[in-house]
Amino acid sequence: MKEKLKALQAQGERAIAAAESLAALEETRLCYLGKKGELTVVLRQMGSLPPQERPLMGKLANEVRDTLETALAKARQGLAQEEQEQKLAQEKVDISLPGRRPLSGAVHPLSLTRRRIEDIFLGMGFTIEEGPEIETDYYNFVALNLPKHHPARDMQDTFYIDGETVLRTHTSPVQVRTMEKMCPAPLKMICPGKVYRKDDDSTHSPMFFQVEGMVIDKGITLADLKGTLLLFAKEMFGPQQKLRLRPSFFPFTEPSAEVDILCTACNGQGCRMCGDTGWLEILGAGMVHPKVLEMSGYDSSRVSGFAFGMGIDRVAMLYYGVTDIRFLYQNDLRTLKQFQGGLS
Are 185 and 72 in the same domain? no
Range of the domain at 51: 2-90
What are the φ/ψ torsions at residue 12 (nearest 5 degrees)? Answer: -65, -45
**219 belongs to a structural domain:** yes
**Higher pLDDT among residues 140 and 29, named by residue:** 140
On the question of pLDDT at 47 being above 70, the answer is no
161 exposed, middle or buried (CB, 10 Å; 0-12, 13-18, 19+)? exposed
User: What pLDDT shows up at residue 344?
Assistant: 44
Are 45 and 127 in the same domain? no
> By 3-state DSSP, what share of the chain in percent is helix, strand and coil, each rounded to 5?
45, 20, 35
User: What pLDDT shows up at residue 150?
Assistant: 79
**277 belongs to a structural domain:** yes
**344 belongs to a structural domain:** no
- Strongest mean pLDDT among 128-132, 163-167, 201-205, 323-327: 128-132
At 147-188, the pLDDT tens digits run 888 777 776 688 989 888 999 999 999 999 999 999 888 999
Are 85 and 205 in the same domain? no
**159 belongs to a structural domain:** yes
Are 44 and 168 in the same domain? no
Are 55 and 131 in the same domain? no
Are 139 and 65 in the same domain? no
At 304-327, the pLDDT tens digits run 999 999 999 999 988 888 888 788
- The last residue of one of the domains, among 62, 90, 118, is 90
Q: Is the peptide bond before 255 cis (omega within 30 degrees of 0)?
A: yes
- Report the distance separating Cα 192 and Cα 343, nearest Å: 18
Beta partners for 160?
166
Nearest to 254 by CA among 282, 222, 223, 283: 222
Are 288 and 197 in the same domain? yes
Of the pLDDT bands very low, low, confident and very high (cuts 50, 70, 90), residue 246 is: very high
- Report the distance separating Cα 106 and Cα 251, nearest Å: 40
Are 53 and 124 in the same domain? no
Residues 25, 84 contacting (CB under 8 angstroms): no
CATH number reported for the structural domain that contains residue 141 in this entry: 3.30.930.10
59: which residues sit within 8 A by CB, 6+ positions away? none
**102 belongs to a structural domain:** no
**243 belongs to a structural domain:** yes
Are 165 and 83 in the same domain? no
Nearest to 75 by CA among 143, 118, 7, 15: 15
Cβ burial 12-38 (10 Å sphere, 16+ → b, else e): bbebbeebeeeeebeebbeebbeeebb
Beta partners for 310?
211, 283
**97 belongs to a structural domain:** no
Of the pLDDT bands very low, low, confident and very high (cuts 50, 70, 90), residue 3 is: confident
Are 71 and 149 in the same domain? no
**240 belongs to a structural domain:** yes
Q: What is the DSSP string of 318-338?
A: HHHT-S-GGGGGS--HHHHGG
Cβ burial 93-107 (10 Å sphere, 16+ → b, else e): eeeeeeeeeeeeeee
- Report the distance separating Cα 290 and Cα 329, nearest Å: 38
Are 196 and 332 in the same domain? yes
HEC string of 188-215 equals: EEEEEEEEECCCCECCECCEEEEEEEEE
Q: Domain count for the chain, please give it.
A: 2
- The last residue of one of the domains, among 61, 90, 119, is 90
Are 139 and 243 in the same domain? yes
